[in-house]
Amino acid sequence: MALSKEQIISVEEVLKASLRNKFQNYKPELASMPFHTRLLGKDRLALYSFIHSLNTNFGTTIFEPVGLTLAQKNFKAATSQAIAGDHISGEAQHAIQKIIDGLVTAEMTPDKEKEIEIIRNVCQKGTMIRNARSE
C-alpha cells in the first residue's frame, strides 16, 4: 500500500506534533519509585520513565490519528473513537467468558477462527444487555 504525498505529510505532522508536545510537557515521576531509582540510577530511570510514558502516549496521539489518516484513503468513512455497538447478547457474553476461562486455565489453546465462530453462533441469542460503557 503506497501512501500519497498528503498522507505522508499528515503522518509526519502527527509524529512531529506528538513528540514535540511530549518533550515540552514531560514531567518525570522519579520520587515515587525509590527502589527503581536506587537499582537503576536516576538518569537511567528518567530515560526509562520517559520512554514508558512515550509508549503509553503513542496509542492516542500517534497510532489512532495515523490509522485514521491511512483509513480515509481506503474507506468511505473513517472515524476515531467509534462505538461498535451498545448491546451484547447474554449468550455471546457467556460464550466470551467461557473462552477466556478456557484460555486462562489452559483447557483450550487460542484459535481465532474457532472463537469467532463460537461467538457468531450465539451473538443474536438470549437477552440483549446494554453495554455499561455506552450509558
Same domain (yes/no): 25, 57: yes
User: Of 44, 74, 104, which residue sits at a domain end?
Assistant: 74
Question: Where is average pLDDT lowest: 63-67, 87-91, 110-114, 131-135?
Answer: 131-135
pLDDT in tens, 81-125: 877 788 899 999 999 999 999 999 999 999 999 999 999 999 999
The set of residues, in sequence order, having a beta carbon less than 8 Å from that of 93 and lying 6+ positions away, is 129
Same domain (yes/no): 21, 66: yes
Q: Is residue 115 part of a domain?
A: yes
- State the pLDDT confidence band at 3, using cuts at 50, 70 and 90: confident
pTM over 0.85: no
- State the pLDDT confidence band at 46, using cuts at 50, 70 and 90: confident
Q: Residue 32's domain spans which residues?
A: 5-74
pLDDT of residue 122: 95
Same domain (yes/no): 10, 63: yes
Give the count of domains, the chain.
Answer: 2
What does DSSP assign to residue 62?
A: I
Same domain (yes/no): 95, 122: yes
Same domain (yes/no): 62, 98: no
Same domain (yes/no): 68, 91: no
User: Of 74, 97, 121, which residue sits at a domain end?
Assistant: 74
Whether the predicted pLDDT of 30 surpasses 60: no
Q: Quote the percentage of the chain above a pLDDT of 70.
A: 94
Whether the predicted pLDDT of 53 surpasses 90: no
Same domain (yes/no): 70, 94: no
The set of residues, in sequence order, having a beta carbon less than 8 Å from that of 128 and lying 6+ positions away, is 87, 88, 89, 90
